[in-house]
Structure 1
Amino acid sequence: MQNQKSALGLDGNVTALIGYPIGIVALILLFIEKDNKFVRFHAIQSLLFWLVFTVIFIALAVITTILAFVSGTLATLFSLLYILTFLVCMGGVILLAIKAYQGQMFSLPVIGPMAQKWAG
């Protein structure tokens, strides 16, 4: 499936790769790609990945802001946790993009099976 051309005229693995770095691109790919299940899987997995990390980032930002009023030390620790979470997110994006480019249906725990189910 990954060697199949996408609606954009690109190889499926290249199209799947471009959905990971910027989440909105994955959303566009989801609407454009109707038949390529490989691209659809990676687009959905990318959207779910970004959704999870967006929720985590927002939660950490709110907690850090509240803690800034209570304790500067705790706020600093949560700021460091925010940076660590960002690095994990970027590492995940790079890993997922590489796996997509290699033509692998690499599935993350929890969101991977959901993406497979929704991709059709």
Structure 2
Amino acid sequence: MATEQNVSAVEPAATTDTSLGPDGNVVALLAHVFTPISGILVYLLEEDNEFARYHAAHSVVFGIGVIAVYATLQALSLVFNTLAGSVPVIGFLLALFVTIIEIFVSLAIWLVVFVAWLYLLITAYQGEATRLPVVSSLAEKHLL
């Protein structure tokens, strides 16, 4: 009987209740659904479950990072195309070439982001505290 009490008393943080209602793994999953907006909401509203807050912080940093990468890519493309457009004929061809390269780079980035997002969703629901190289260190340093 004593072993049954010890096993049931030690629950993983992912399956414990949260101040928002559902189990921690469900709240962690919801934190990743609409990255970074849902991550901010869970981070601000969740008080009890550190697992859910951990995933919410990762969601915020991951989402802001994706937005920053996309905005940087768009800004660089705009600047280059503007500069190249001022050069007759060759500028047009350069701008066209850069636009084609940008499309392929954007597709590659979005594929990587989508796979990483799915990975974060699955591991959050499974109750695992996932560590992404840059995201984890920034989230732990600034949000946790």
Task: Give the alignment's TM-score, normalised by structure 2.
Answer: 0.76
Decide whether the 8 Å contact of 2:18 with 2:47 is kept in 1.
Answer: no
Question: Is it true that 1:26 corresponds to 2:26 in the alignment?
Answer: no
* Per-residue CA distance 1:41-83 (angstroms, 9 max, x = gap): 0000010001111110001111222333422101210122112
Deviation at 1:7, TM superposition (A): 1.9
In structure 1, what is the Cα distance between the partners aligned to 2:137 and 2:126?
19
Decide whether the 8 Å contact of 2:32 with 2:121 is kept in 1.
Answer: yes
Question: Is it true that 1:9 corresponds to 2:21 in the alignment?
Answer: yes
Taking the TM superposition and a 5 Å limit, the aligned residue runs for 1:75-86 are 75-86=99-110
- Paired position in structure 2 for 1:96: 120
Q: Where does structure 1 lack aligned partners over 5 or more consecutive residues? A: none
Q: Where does structure 2 lack aligned partners over 5 or more consecutive residues? A: 1-12, 85-94
In structure 2, what is the Cα distance between the partners aligned to 1:58 and 1:98?
27
Question: Is it true that 1:56 corresponds to 2:80 in the alignment?
Answer: no
Question: Is it true that 1:67 corresponds to 2:91 in the alignment?
Answer: no
Deviation at 1:104, TM superposition (A): 0.3
Decide whether the 8 Å contact of 1:2 with 1:103 is kept in 2.
Answer: yes
Partner amino acid, structure 1, of 2:55: H
* Residues paired across the two proteins, number: 119
Decide whether the 8 Å contact of 1:64 with 1:79 is kept in 2.
Answer: no
- Paired position in structure 1 for 2:91: none
Q: Pick the structure with greater CA Rg.
A: 2
* Per-residue CA distance 1:65-120 (angstroms, 9 max, x = gap): 2333422101210122112111111111110010100100011112213334533x
